Structure 1
Amino acid sequence: MLYLAGIIITFFLVAILASKKNKSEADKILALWLFCTGFHLFLYYLHYKKDFASFPFLLGFELPMPLVQGPFLYLYTSALTNQNKSKKYNWLHFLPFIIAVLVLMPFFTLSFQEKLKVFENDGKGYENLILILYSAILISGIAYALLSLQKLSKHRKNISDQFSFNEKINLRWLQYLILGSSIIWLVVIFYEDQYIFSFVVFYLMFIGYFGIKQVGIFTNQTVSENFILNVSSNENVEIENILEKVKYEKSSLSSEELLSIHQKLTQIMETEKLYKNPDLTLAELSQKLNVHPNVLSQVINSAEGKNFYDYINLQRVEEFKKLILLPENQKYTLLSIAFECGFNSKTAFNRNFKKATGLSPSEYLKWFFLNT
């Protein structure tokens, strides 16, 4: 019953994704991934019910199916984090699966009775081929899980360089998804099929729930394109100035230019307190300063020794330390003042405050009043 429920839920999720408006690349990959996994689960269900006689031509097709799991996980991670640049070569990730199908073709062309006899005799006559296929499946699964984690790590660095918040876009659930995939491969090594596919059913529910909820994080435009489009809409900025600044994207700043931009940054932070915007991004701040985002990132990294995320949140922490001491703010809670400073969650506030001061907000206040 569990497997049948998993099959129904999986294809239901595929239908939801297929009917979704404005489907992203990640949605399309997820729909195809779920379809292939649902089909694989269906093939196992036929084994479980010993009902392959109803679909004799399908017997054996489940053997190479695990080889698509790793590539789909990797491509889905790449699409979600906007790192799938060489799309026309995506099919190469499925080359091991294609090769496995071709190698197994002599088996597929056997009659149903002949194939059934092979299965009943634990793959007699195909022992070496099964061993090679099993090894390839394990290598593929583990390798793609590691590659997916690498993509996710790069994504987190990217959002720290471009966003002042990360609670909704850090894709922590995707990390659990990748780790779940790794656990499945461990289950494959040590347990029998019924345990593997029971775990797969719950894994599919997890994929479907979070995958359908997921929204885009980065647009398909590059930073340079966004910068030009955003800034060129400002009538006070000439296109020549824009192009001149774009040149800095891959070049180093002189110390004078870096110092000048840093002074402007410090001034605008003091006067306009842009960090109070909880959704502030590097692109928005660079537009305010009329510099390319990559230039601003370089200035913050060099002059402040921090990425954009840490720099902005340090500004918020410093603002909180000022506001909390004002008599008129004594009636407010610590969290309400933190929100006023630009934090958008209690978790983000506590984490960044402790990172900056080494103390929790309440510990800091106790320490402050004991030492004044």
Structure 2
Amino acid sequence: MFPDFNRYSLPLLILVIQGLIFAVLLFSRYLKKRNLSDLFLALILCLTSYSQTCYTIGFMGWYDSFRTTKINYFLINIGIALAPLIYLYVKSITTSNFKFKKVYWWHFAFALAFVMYRFVIFTYDALQPGFNETQNGYLKINLDEAIVLPTMSFITAPFILLYLAFTFQLFYNYRKRIIQYFSNTYKLELSWILSFLVLFSLSFLYGTIQDAIGSFVIDLDYNQRWWLNLFVAVITLYVGIKGYFTDTTKLNKLDFSFSPKIVGIPEETSNNPIKSFSEDQVIAIKQFMETEKPYLNPDLNLSDLAKQVDLTRAQLSEIINSAFNKNFNDFVNNYRVEAFKDMLKAGKQKQLSLLGIAQECGFNSKATFNRVFKKLTNHSPTQYLQSQID
């Protein structure tokens, strides 16, 4: 009898409801602030929750209680819409002042075409005599289940894999650019994006392996496929919570209108390499960093520093990369680490915690400070302090 609250249906029901709650919260925030990343994430949660809802009502006894249900017409592989949404979600975060363009609708052409196809076969079957007394009509059985669904099983996996590959590439290219532009790397926000991608990739891998086993090894029943649904439901809840409370708008506002690669540099000869900067410029930058200490500003970026030393961003980027043999992030953080060491020598730790000192030196988080300090000194801040005391 429907509804049957059991050990299969109840956990899914609880998780799905919570996932939908966060989808509503994200939709509400989108309407107020118009951040497209909120809209995309809300749609992602809606799709995953919809997928789990179909299985949840199945475990609750829907099919047994309603033998002529037409729900099979509306059970659609969400991956063909979910993969483009994941791509656009990451793109909306990693693209400065992202705007949705008409051309982006083509990402959903496959999904929209499939939905229209299902609507057509449902309409045709509904017009046939005896449709109300059966679960699946003529086209659903002889076209959809016999031809279309088997074909879709071979198309969907490469389609999703391709989108995931493009999305990972988008993320890693963005992370590399941040190091060239900004003195702090927004580790919290970048970690969220990476964990988001990894979780959905794992669910895709899980589902692919399960389908392969079910098709070529042993037939998996409804209950055996429950674990994948539980896994996806847990991911949905995690993504809803973490995505709602992680502020990614600061990444969307970063200015990447300029590429910090060396441009317009005269060609080198093997005997006389030509530099587009002078030694005086290198010395001036070094003196400016030591006297004016711009690195104390945690939001310092390549553009701001270029203005302060009266250079273009291209010139400053070339000098840092070529003369100092560092990227912008390492260049600035090296000064911050040295400032931290100087404060320890001055006994500043007697007044402030190590994190407090790090923040005064320009670091914006404990995680970034610990990672950078260990990278540049091969010691943790605590180990370094202890070595100075000893």
Under a length normalisation based on structure 2, what TM-score does the superposition of the two structures give? 0.76
Corresponding residue of 1:305: 325
What is the CA–CA distance in structure 1 between the aligned matches of 2:257 and 2:168, rounded to whole Å? 27
Q: 2:309 matched to 1:289?
A: yes
Q: Which residue of 2 aligns with 1:339?
A: 359
Deviations 1:91-124 (CA, angstroms, capped at 9, x unpaired): 22222223433554564332456872579x9989
**1:101-120 correspondence runs (5 A):** 101-104=115-118, 107-108=121-122, 109-111=124-126, 116-117=135-136
RCO higher in structure (CA 8 A, sep ≥6): 2
Shift, 1:266, TM fit: 1.2
| CA distance in 1: counterparts of 2:16 and 2:385, whole angstroms | 55
Instruction: Work out the CA distance in 1 between the residues paired with 2:368 and 2:255.
Output: 28
Partner of 2:47: 36
RMSD between aligned residues: 3.5
Q: Which moved more, 1:269-278 or 1:330-339?
A: 330-339
How far the C-alpha of 1:203 sits from its partner, in A, is 1.3
Please give the alpha-carbon distance, in whole angstroms, between the structure 2 residues aligned to 1:165 and 1:339.
12
Decide whether the 8 Å contact of 2:94 with 2:251 is kept in 1.
yes
- Separation in 1, partners of 2:67, 2:24: 25
Correspondent of 1:215 among 248, 251, 254: 248
What is the aligned partner in structure 2 of residue 19 from structure 1? 28
Indicate whether 1:4 and 2:32 are aligned.
no
Secondary structure at 1:126 match in 2:
helix
1:246-294 Cα shifts (integer Å, max 9, x gaps):
9x99533873535454333212101111112223222222222233334
Match of 2:237 among 167, 187, 205: 205
What is the aligned length? Answer: 347
TM-score, reference length from structure 1: 0.79
Letter in 2 for 1:174: I
In 2, the alpha carbon distance for the partners of 1:211 and 1:300 equals: 35
CA distance in structure 2 between the aligned counterparts of 1:125 and 1:345, rounded to whole angstroms: 54
Between the aligned partners of 2:336 and 2:207, the Cα distance in structure 1 is: 48
Aligned to 1:242: none
Measured after TM superposition, the shift of residue 334 of structure 1 is 4.4
| Structure-2 change in CA distance of 1:37 and 1:360 (3 Å) | closer
How much does 1:71 deviate?
0.9
> For residue 265 of structure 2, what is the amino acid of its counterpart?
S
Unaligned runs of 5+ in 1: 226-245
Aligned partners of 1:31, 1:130: CA distance in 2, in Å? 28
1:163 equivalenced with 2:143 (yes/no): no
Determine the C-alpha separation between the residues in 1 that align with 2:137 and 2:314.
61
2:58 aligned with 1:47:
yes
Matches within 5 A, 1:172-251: 172-191=191-210, 192-213=224-245, 214-219=247-252, 222-223=255-256, 250-251=263-264
CA contact (8 A) 2:295 2:336 kept: yes
Whole-angstrom distance in 2 between the partners of 1:55 and 1:182: 36
1:71 and 2:74 aligned: no
Matched residue type, 1:110 = D
Q: Which residue type is aligned with residue 244 of structure 2?
A: I
Tell me if 1:323 matches 2:366.
no
Residue 6 of structure 2 corresponds to: none
Q: What displacement does 1:64 show?
A: 3.6
Deviation per CA, 1:166-198, whole angstroms, max 9, x where unpaired? 245542122111111111112213445422221
Q: Contact 1:258/1:299 (CA < 8 Å) preserved in 2?
A: no
Aligned residues of 1:162 and 1:281 also touching (Cα < 8 A): yes
1:89 aligns with 2:103: yes
The equivalent of 1:236 in structure 2 is none
Q: 2:93 aligns with which of 80, 84, 87?
A: 80
| Structure 2 CA distance for aligned equivalents of residues 360 and 221 of structure 1 | 30
Which of 126, 130, 134 aligns to 2:149? It is 130
Q: Is this contact kept in 2: 1:66–1:137, CA < 8 A?
A: yes
Q: Structure 1 counterpart of 2:375, which letter?
A: K
Q: CA deviation at 1:78?
A: 0.8
**1:264 maps onto 2:273 in alignment:** no
**Contact 2:37–2:89 at 8 Å: present in 1 too?**
yes
In the TM superposition, what whole-angstrom CA distance separates every residue of 1:117-159 from its partner, at most 9, and x where no partner exists?
A: 579x998973442222122222222222222211111121122
Q: Is the 8 A contact 1:118 1:125 kept in 2?
A: no
Q: CA deviation at 1:312?
A: 0.7
Alpha-carbon distance in 2 for matches of 1:25, 1:259? 46
Partner Cα separation in structure 2 for residue 56 and residue 16 of structure 1: 32
Identity of aligned residues (%): 28
